Amino acid sequence: MDMILEYCNQMLLLVGIIFILAAAVMYVFPPKKINSLYGYRTASSMQNQKKWNFAQTYSAKIMMLTGVVFLLIAPTKGLFKTNETTDVVLGLGVMIIGTILMVVVVERALKKID
């Protein structure tokens, strides 16, 4: 286990696992009604029940895919021999970019729903 952590960006590894777990929970137990506490909540997803239902399952799938991508790129530390500071900066950067891309993809899909 220590060898795996030595060659992985631990932040990306952890965030990938969290994204996958959160997506699985959201996919299996999506919020049934529009609410302001739980689920994929944006102005467009909360416009009507049809968009809400679509946004919950679609965002969970995209979030799971994003988490898998994070897990796949986590071993880059072994390739580039980075230090802790670089790992944190890279981890945060990739996490922010991945999250923004995830929202953009879901919002574009929501625009296609009448």
Q: What are the structure tokens assigned to 44, written together?
A: 């467009």
Mean pLDDT of 11-27: 94
pLDDT in tens, 27-81: 999 999 999 898 999 999 999 999 999 999 999 999 999 999 999 988 877 677 7
58 vs 6, more confident: 58
CA distances for 113 relative to 23, 53, 54, 110, angstroms: 22, 11, 9, 5
Torsion of CA 73, 75, 79, 82, to 10 degrees: 100
Question: Which pLDDT belongs to residue 110?
Answer: 97
What's the first-to-final CA gap in the chain, in angstroms? 49
The residue segments making up the domain with residue 58 are 2-111
pTM for this entry: 0.87
Q: Which residues, other chains included, contact 10 with Cβ-Cβ below 8 Å and sequence gap of 6+? A: 74, 87, 91
Q: What is the tally of structural domains in the chain?
A: 1
